């Protein structure tokens, strides 16, 4: 069928092709089926959407992105045919059927995901069947390798490239802001690509963005790393392991985190930037993503095994995930807390012990120091961490002279106080997250939560428990509403349980 191309005013990361319902009926294609679009020798296969009025009969609605890909202009006539499903659909069905996939099959699926050849339903089927049918280490290795190969990669001519990754789920985890400069100032290369928050109040990229530009190309990441030794960039601005972003978009609605995809996602990013030594931070505890030590250790073993297969030395740190790291949650509040600690060369014990502990593990695994923690602490206390952090900020186009106290935070605040004497028995991590997000984080950089009382702290009636920061009054109101409904910090009497008392 001959159709005239037209450009739709739609933004989408996926190639969109829209048929009028009469043309679709004529072609015998349903929503979600595929068509081949041909013009001279050029051809592309696309999943079809069907519209009534937005695309008139005889037209093919599409986007600039699609036209460019086929080197076409709007208004040109193209041939449109029903097309078969890509081979990878058969491979996904094979996994649904419980069979092991071979390397070529996994590669085909990953490249089809990257090339937008698979629909959301098909990717969801792949993710859920990998989760329920499982993947063995061969398959996970092939998945990781395909993710690396289907995206951009970094290569450095000299130096030792290291990296760290924290499994998510613990609010306030701004440790990369301290680890990266500490490690870089010892001469290691650490081109850290970080994520933005999806369900949390601030990702490392959101926090770093308060101080510098994080939307760096892979070329910029390479240059800055060569120049100052470290960088903290948003991975989403690069094309590193792009399959992962598509898979995460599918996992998000059901908050799924299948083991094969989790392992491949983390390790593909490390492999793609050329890291040889990696520390994985696995926080566990009540309310964290991973609740038991047993699960955390199993995951650690998986990472180590996968690392071996990929030629990466992996060290896993099981960390305490039962409460926030430091006291600040939200982009500006976290950047402020991290910078303040560097300025004062001291800070919250949970923040410094964790940051310097992980930097220390990188020093040990690369052979730089036998007692890595002490080595990292010395760097931090000498002021070299701050100095290097300022270099990194400058290299990423930020104001390297900024002081922690100058970082603006939301001016609409509300403090929740304790109604009773006792101790802070539990911090509800989900609730802290939700309050900070309702207050506007991560979009409103100044929004977030400051926690006054952490687990085990003695609390008197009237003591502040946490302060909510927001940039907008209506968001502050939303956050207060959530805080009232959720009890983010539970205060109980000093006597928690009593045994053997007669009635």
- Which positions lie near a copy of itself, rule CB under 8 A? 8-11, 21, 25-26, 28, 30-33, 50-54, 81, 85, 89, 92-93, 96, 98, 119-122, 124-125, 128-129, 131-133, 198, 249-250, 252-256, 437, 440, 442-443, 478
CA atoms within 13 A on the CB side of 417: 6
First vs last Cα of the chain: how many Å apart? 85
- Give the integer Cα–Cα distance in Å for 361 and 369: 9
- Give the integer Cα–Cα distance in Å for 240 and 380: 31
Q: The tokens of 314 are what? A: 């992996």
Reduced to 3 states (helix: H, G, I; strand: E, B; else coil), residue 282 is: strand
Residue 244 a catalytic site member: no
Residue 193 or 478 with smaller CB distance to a copy of itself: 478
Cβ proximity of 296 and 284 under 8 Å: yes
CA atoms within 13 A on the CB side of 356: 24
Spatial CA neighbour of 463 closest among 472, 454, 471: 454
> Strand runs (DSSP E) across 302-434, as ranges?
313-320, 328-329, 412-417, 422-427
Q: Which residues pair with 413 in a beta bridge?
A: 469
Long-range contacts of 493-500 (CB under 8 A, 24+ apart): 493/420, 493/421, 493/422, 494/422, 494/423, 496/425
Cβ proximity of 374 and 363 under 8 Å: no
Task: Report the nearest approach of a copy of itself to the CB of residue 125 (Å).
Answer: 6
Reduced to 3 states (helix: H, G, I; strand: E, B; else coil), residue 111 is: helix
Task: Report the nearest approach of a copy of itself to the CB of residue 288 (Å).
Answer: 18
Task: Report the nearest approach of a copy of itself to the CB of residue 98 (Å).
Answer: 8
Cβ proximity of 420 and 491 under 8 Å: yes
- Give the integer Cα–Cα distance in Å for 331 and 194: 14
Task: Report the nearest approach of a copy of itself to the CB of residue 13 (Å).
Answer: 9
Q: The tokens of 462 are what? A: 């009237």
- Give the integer Cα–Cα distance in Å for 45 and 47: 7
Place of tokens 């349980």: 497
Task: Report the nearest approach of a copy of itself to the CB of residue 92 (Å).
Answer: 7
Residue 332 or 376 with smaller CB distance to a copy of itself: 332
Residue 145 or 437 with smaller CB distance to a copy of itself: 437
Strands 162-166 and 34-39: unpaired
Task: Report the nearest approach of a copy of itself to the CB of residue 405 (Å).
Answer: 28
Residue 37 or 386 with smaller CB distance to a copy of itself: 37
Angle at 71 between CA 70 and CA 77, to 5 degrees: 75
Task: Report the nearest approach of a copy of itself to the CB of residue 45 (Å).
Answer: 14
- Give the integer Cα–Cα distance in Å for 499 and 503: 11
Cβ proximity of 399 and 213 under 8 Å: no
49 CB neighbour count, 10 Å cutoff? 17
Asked whether the CA dihedral 10, 14, 19, 21 is positive or negative, the reply is negative
Task: Report the nearest approach of a copy of itself to the CB of residue 110 (Å).
Answer: 18
Task: Report the nearest approach of a copy of itself to the CB of residue 81 (Å).
Answer: 8
Q: The tokens of 369 are what? A: 């120091």
Burial 401-431 (b: 16+ CB within 10 A, else e): ebeeeebebbebeeebebeeebbbbbbbbeb
Task: Report the nearest approach of a copy of itself to the CB of residue 247 (Å).
Answer: 12
Cβ proximity of 492 and 458 under 8 Å: no
Q: Which of 213, 257, 457, 477 is catalytic?
A: 257
Q: Which residues are catalytic?
A: 257
């Amino acid at each position: 069928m001959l159709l005239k191309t037209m450009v739709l005013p739609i933004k989408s990361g996926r190639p969109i092709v829209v048929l009028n319902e009469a043309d679709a009926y004529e072609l015998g294609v349903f929503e979600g089926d595929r068509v081949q679009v041909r013009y001279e020798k050029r051809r592309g296969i696309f999943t079809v959407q069907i519209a009534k009025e937005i695309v008139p009969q005889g037209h093919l609605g599409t986007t600039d992105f699609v036209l460019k890909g086929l080197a076409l202009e709007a208004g040109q006539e193209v041939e449109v045919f029903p097309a078969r499903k890509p081979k990878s659909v058969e491979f996904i069905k094979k996994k649904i059927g419980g069979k092991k996939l071979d390397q070529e099959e996994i590669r085909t699926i990953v490249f089809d995901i990257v090339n937008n050849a698979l629909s959301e339903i098909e990717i969801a089927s792949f993710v859920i069947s990998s989760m329920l049918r499982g993947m063995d280490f061969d398959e996970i290795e092939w998945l990781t390798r395909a993710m690396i190969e289907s995206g951009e990669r970094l290569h450095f001519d000299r130096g030792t490239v290291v990296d760290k990754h924290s499994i998510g789920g613990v609010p306030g985890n701004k440790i990369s802001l301290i680890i990266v400069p500490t490690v870089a100032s010892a001469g290691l290369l650490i081109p850290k690509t970080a994520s933005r928050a999806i369900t949390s109040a601030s990702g490392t990229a959101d926090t770093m963005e308060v101080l510098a530009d994080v939307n760096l190309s892979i070329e910029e990441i390479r240059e800055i790393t060569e120049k100052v030794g470290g960088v903290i960039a948003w991975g989403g601005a690069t094309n590193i392991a792009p399959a992962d972003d598509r898979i995460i978009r599918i996992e998000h609605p059901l908050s799924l985190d299948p083991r094969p995809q989790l392992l491949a996602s983390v390790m593909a990013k490390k492999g793609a930037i050329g890291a040889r030594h990696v520390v994985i931070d696995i926080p566990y505890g009540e309310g964290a993503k991973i609740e038991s030590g047993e699960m955390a250790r199993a995951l650690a073993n998986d990472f180590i095994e996968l690392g071996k297969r990929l030629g990466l030395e992996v060290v896993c740190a099981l960390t305490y995930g039962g409460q926030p790291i430091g006291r600040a949650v939200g982009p500006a509040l976290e950047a402020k807390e991290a910078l303040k600690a560097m300025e004062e060369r001291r800070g919250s014990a949970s923040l410094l012990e964790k940051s310097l502990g992980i930097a220390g593990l990188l020093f040990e695994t690369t052979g730089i120091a036998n007692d890595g923690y002490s080595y990292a602490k010395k760097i931090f206390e000498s002021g070299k961490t701050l100095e290097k952090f300022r270099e990194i900020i400058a290299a990423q186009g930020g104001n390297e002279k900024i002081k922690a106290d100058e970082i603006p935070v939301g001016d609409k605040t509300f403090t929740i106080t304790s109604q009773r004497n006792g101790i802070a028995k539990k911090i509800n991590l989900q609730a802290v997250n939700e309050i900070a997000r309702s207050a506007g984080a991560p979009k409103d950089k100044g929004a977030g939560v400051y926690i006054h009382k952490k687990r085990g702290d003695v609390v008197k009636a009237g003591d502040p428990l946490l302060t909510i920061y927001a940039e907008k009054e209506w968001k502050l109101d939303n956050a207060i509403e959530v805080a009232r409904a959720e009890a983010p910090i539970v205060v109980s009497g000093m006597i928690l349980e009593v045994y053997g008392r007669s009635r």
